[in-house]
Amino acid sequence: MPASLSPAPGGNDPVGPTTVMGRAFADLSGPALAAAMTPSTVVLQPIGAVEHHGGHLPLATDALVADTLARTVASDGPDLELLVLPTLHYGLSTEHIWAPGTVSLSPSTLLALLDDIGASVARAGAKRLAFLNTHGGNTHLLRVAARDIRARHHLYTFVLQGWAAPEHGAPAPDPSEEGLGIHGSLAETSVVLHLRPDLVDMSRAERSVPSWVNQYGPLSFTGGSEFAWLSNDLSPTGVVGDPTLATSDKGREHFAAAVALIARAIAEASRFSFPTSADGASPIEGG
């Protein structure tokens, strides 16, 4: 029986309904899952967030994008060896915790949750687990979790970022954002305009670019060092960028680039391996 990956909330899904044979982990029976699992299968865990995105975007922006991105990659890549877990809607959103509506897990809770998922995936016979992330606040913790899961459960683990960089086919950043469009910005707003225009209120979109950040060198966003921040340290609205420039067409470009990049990453993850040891044994037992 085909496994259906659920449509976007509200049934208004411009990318179309997605029904993919054997791709939704949770839709399969236990025996069907065991039969579908191979050493090359990548189990994909999408993760987003429910958090403040200014007055113009829904709280579930990151979770919506992660879920739709995973479903689209599964639909568009019939040759990918892929099983998709249900999307984790909550993540680590400490930087937005000042704003009503933000739902943030603590670092210890999220690490424990991810480890439990890793243990469960390993028990199911998987050898490869990839996190598909669309929220910047999750990134550092996901790297820690991926390494811990590698050590404890002997899985190949990967952290895939949902936003493609220009060198991987995404549109070049708009200079009006001064390289600072990181939250509720032109790109993010454009993507939601493409996926769920009914959830976007452009009449409440406001430009909020913290130009002062670029007066710093090593401590700038691209300088290699960093400073801790909450989103209201950078902007009274919590928006960092210029969403007033967003369009659905720009969102379509950004989303298509992300789909292509993630599909390539999953294809690489399915064949990834470390060099074998001197005796020829696989670094992952049974891998």
Per the listing, tokens 């009503």 go with 100
- At residue 10, the pLDDT reads 40
Tokens coding 279: 């005796």
Please state the φ and ψ torsions of residue 131, each to the nearest 5 degrees. Answer: -95, 125
> ∠ CA(92), CA(196), CA(88), 5° rounding?
30
- How does pLDDT run across 3-20, given as a tens digit for each residue? 333 344 444 444 443 334
pLDDT at 235: 95
Q: Is the pLDDT at 262 greater than 70, yes or no?
A: yes
3-state secondary structure of 82: strand
Three-state SS at 254: helix
Threshold 0.85, pTM exceeds = yes
Return the amino acid letter for 215.
Answer: Q
What number is the average pLDDT over the span 154-160? 97
pLDDT band with cut points at 50, 70 and 90 for residue 23: confident
What is the chain's alpha carbon radius of gyration, rounded to the nearest angstrom?
19
pLDDT at 35 over 60: yes
**Residues comprising the chain, all counted:** 287
pLDDT the model gives residue 166 = 84
- Give tens-digit pLDDT for 245-258: 999 999 999 999 99
Summarize pLDDT for 182-240 with one digit per residue, the tens. 999 999 999 999 999 999 999 999 999 999 999 999 999 989 999 999 999 999 999 99
198 close to 13: Cβ distance less than 8 angstroms: no
* pLDDT the model gives residue 141: 98
pLDDT at 1 over 80: no
* Mean pLDDT, rounded, of the chain: 90
Share of the chain above pLDDT 90, in %: 83
Residues 6+ apart with CB under 8 A from 71: 5, 6, 15, 18, 84
Domain extent listing, the chain = 16-271
What is the spatial distance between Cα 216 and Cα 220, in angstroms, rounded to a whole number? 5
The pLDDT tens digits for 114-153 are 999 999 999 999 999 999 999 999 999 999 999 999 999 9
Distance of CA 45 to the CA centre of its chain: 9
Distance of CA 171 to the CA centre of its chain: 18
pLDDT at 29: 94
CB 128 within 8 A of CB 158: yes
> In the chain, what is the straight-line distance between the N-terminal and C-terminal CA atoms, in Å?
28
- CB-based contact 114:149 (threshold 8 Å): yes
pLDDT tens per residue, range 44-85? 999 999 999 999 999 999 999 999 999 999 999 999 999 999
Angstrom distance (rounded) from CA 285 to CA 139: 28
d(CA 212, CA 115): 39
Distance between CA 102 and CA 105 in Å, rounded?
10
Q: How confident is the model at residue 284 (pLDDT cuts 50, 70, 90)?
A: low
Determine the 3-state secondary structure of 246 from DSSP.
Answer: coil
Cα separation, 156 vs 140, whole angstroms: 18
What's residue 163's pLDDT? 86
Closest CA to 6 of 77, 66, 90, 71: 71
CATH superfamily of 16-271: Creatininase (3.40.50.10310)
- Check residue 168 and give its pLDDT: 81
pLDDT number for residue 8: 41
Structure tokens at 234: 């950078």
